Amino acid sequence: MLYEKTTNIEVRKYNRNTIYRFIYNSKKTSKQEIAKNLGVSLPTIAQHLKTLSEEGLISEDGEFKSTGGRKAKAIVCVKDSRISAGLDITQNHISIVLVDLGGNILKNIRIEKHFENSDEYYKNVAGILCEFIENSEFRNSKILGVGISIPGIISSDKKEIIDSHVLHIKNTRCEELIKHIPYECIFCNDANAAGKAELWNEDSEKNIIYLSLSNSVGGSIYYNEKMYLGDNERAGEFGHMVIMPNGKQCYCGQKGCVDAYCSAKVLSDSTKGKLSEFFTLLNNSNKEQVEIWKDYINKLAIVINNLRMAFDCNIILGGYVGAYLDEHIDEVKNSISKYNTFEIDIKYLRVCHYKLESSAVGAALLHIEDFIKQI
């Protein structure tokens, strides 16, 4: 129910935001439909629609069929009225995306670039980012900012990279990385960003675990639709759970970590770093890849079952490996069922929607989320 009092600025803002969100979540709607669902008068709705239209956030898109009276105008969100950029920094490449208000990828690029903790590297990345935006057909859209994802732990105030084993940096001020970028920037952990991307348009899942299977293993935890970061911003570091005591060496210095058994490198190392080639050979029943895959999904099944036992919620498999799992998910589920004490049917597990640049998308969505909140 909306508030009818229009003299109060906060109430007006609440009403306006609620109307916008209703339109945002509808493919098409009308003033009458908004009034019916939100319980507010048509004049009040018309006033807010006028403002939203003047700001380019909504537009009319045809008419609905007549039900006996005047045809109602169809109202839609203009998703590309605002654009956000996402930058994912990894050890060996950078990915950049432009994303609209709906979380749709408008344009993306991936460039091989080895990370260096140097001003020259940051200046070069900023130049690539700005050139990518300026040369896009969306350069005249309003850019909300740049979200930056990295494989590391970010401080709660988003101003410091506390630790990144992958990039070999600690206690680094974020301002050092972005001083050459002429846009507002927000930092986030790469797995948390990917989890945000996966849940952006999900209405049914309030609690979720996102398991990122890339060249390092990470994840994110969503409880009651909010990200749980833990007391020290380290929640979701699933890659450093020990599943094989005194097992394989992990890059963190410990032995037997999940990362040593379930990272994408475990698969791609047999094909000179090319994960796509691994799955091509696996699908062709190549003996070496089949044996590697059997051991991989056995260890992965242990991890997934442990997460299910601990959190008792749905789990999404993402990252580089997740992008290839659609046709292999039944194998993974069959392996998990051997360990699960309570359930045989593994309905709680699914593969990621975003097959490409999910961390960059999730980082970009941070600006979009903030923007929608203040409409």
Instruction: Give me the mean pLDDT over the 311-315 stretch.
Output: 94
Give the architecture-level CATH label for domain 201-351: 2-Layer Sandwich (3.30)
Residue 47 has which token pair?
């006033």
Instruction: Give me the mean pLDDT over the 301-316 stretch.
Output: 95
Starting at the edge strand found earlier in the chain, the sheet holding 349-351 runs: 226-228, 217-223, 208-213, 314-318, 349-351
Which residues in the chain are classed under CATH 1.10.10.10? Answer: 9-77
- Superfamily assignment of 81-196+358-374 in CATH? ATPase, nucleotide binding domain (3.30.420.40)
Which residues in the chain are classed under CATH 3.30.420.40? Answer: 81-196+358-374, 201-351
Q: Is the pLDDT of residue 138 over 80?
A: no
Instruction: Give me the mean pLDDT over the 305-328 stretch.
Output: 95
Instruction: Give me the mean pLDDT over the 107-128 stretch.
Output: 95
Per-residue pLDDT at 71: 74
pLDDT digits (tens, 9 = 90+) for 38-94: 988 889 999 999 999 999 999 988 877 766 667 788 899 999 999 999 999 999 999
- pTM recorded for the entire structure: 0.86
Q: Per DSSP, what are the bridge partners of residue 315?
A: 209, 349
- How is 166-188 classified by DSSP, letter by letter? TTTEEEEEHHHHHTT--S-EEEE
Instruction: Give me the mean pLDDT over the 321-326 stretch.
Output: 95
Starting at the edge strand found earlier in the chain, the sheet holding 93-100 runs: 105-112, 93-100, 82-89, 142-150, 185-189
Tell me the backbone φ, ψ of residue 55, rounded to 5 degrees: -90, 0
Instruction: Give me the mean pLDDT over the 244-264 stretch.
Output: 95
Q: What per-residue string of b and e applies to 253-288 under the rule 16 or more CB within 10 Å gives b?
A: eeebbbbbbbbbbbbbebbeeebeebbebbeeebee
Q: Is the pLDDT of residue 5 over 80?
A: no
CATH no. for 9-77: 1.10.10.10
pLDDT digits (tens, 9 = 90+) for 210-219: 999 999 999 9
Which residue do the tokens 């900012």 mark? 145
Per-residue pLDDT at 211: 96
Per-residue pLDDT at 203: 64
Per-residue pLDDT at 224: 86
Instruction: Give me the mean pLDDT over the 106-121 stretch.
Output: 95
Sign of CA dihedral 298, 299, 300, 301: positive
Which residue do the tokens 């945002």 mark? 24
